[in-house]
Amino acid sequence: MSRLFGGATQNGVVVKDMDEALAYWTGTLGVGPFFRLDNLEHEFYFQGENQLPPPPMSIALGNWGDVQIELIWPRGESASTWHQFLKQRGGGVHHISVWRRDFDEAVALASARGLKVEASGKLQNSARYIYFQADRPDQPLLEISELTDKTAAAFDFIRQVSVDWDGRDPVRTFG
């Protein structure tokens, strides 16, 4: 638990291939099920610049206990935090996320502590997120994500489904 930002709620993992990543997480590690969303619709700002259209990507969300695992598959050649990470590191843990109802206050705290914004965005459901750069290249970014009633319900559903998951139907779609 961070005395400043609260408990970690999500590990974001950038992957080269979503199908391979899902096979590893669900088959080898037994984590899941995952809920996959291709062509995520969102506003996106990278290094202060609005990306129109936003970078193409797919995500898959599943839970390992109380920690959500977000698999992120950036596609194409867009400028984004995920594309940059994939090119520089080849994939892996990109960020640790905290979900906050007091989003603006948490962002102000991070800024006051000297953390620099790398990227930010807003999901179609209006939840905002900001990635703060790590002060060392071998550390993950900090993501502060706005916890709205809608995102809280979706994330709780994903966690609840994972509790008694028996390994069947490992990859599902949103909607």
Lowest mean pLDDT among 11-25, 45-59, 76-90, 104-118: 45-59
Whole-angstrom Cα distance, residue 31 to residue 78?
A: 30
On the question of pLDDT at 51 being above 70, the answer is no
Nearest to 134 by CA among 112, 110, 102: 110
Instruction: Give the pLDDT of residue 99.
Output: 96
State the pLDDT confidence band at 52, using cuts at 50, 70 and 90: low
Q: What is the pTM of this model?
A: 0.94
Which pLDDT tens digit goes with each residue over 102-133?
999 999 999 999 999 999 999 876 799 999 99
Q: Where are the beta strands (DSSP E) in the chain?
A: 10-14, 34-38, 42-46, 49-50, 57-64, 67-74, 92-100, 117-123, 128-132, 141-146, 171-173
Lowest mean pLDDT among 13-27, 38-52, 153-167: 38-52
Compute the Cα dihedral for 111, 52, 138, 142 and give only its sign: positive
**Tokens coding 1:** 């638990």
A 10 A CB-CB count for 105 gives 11
Instruction: Give the pLDDT of residue 175.
Output: 61
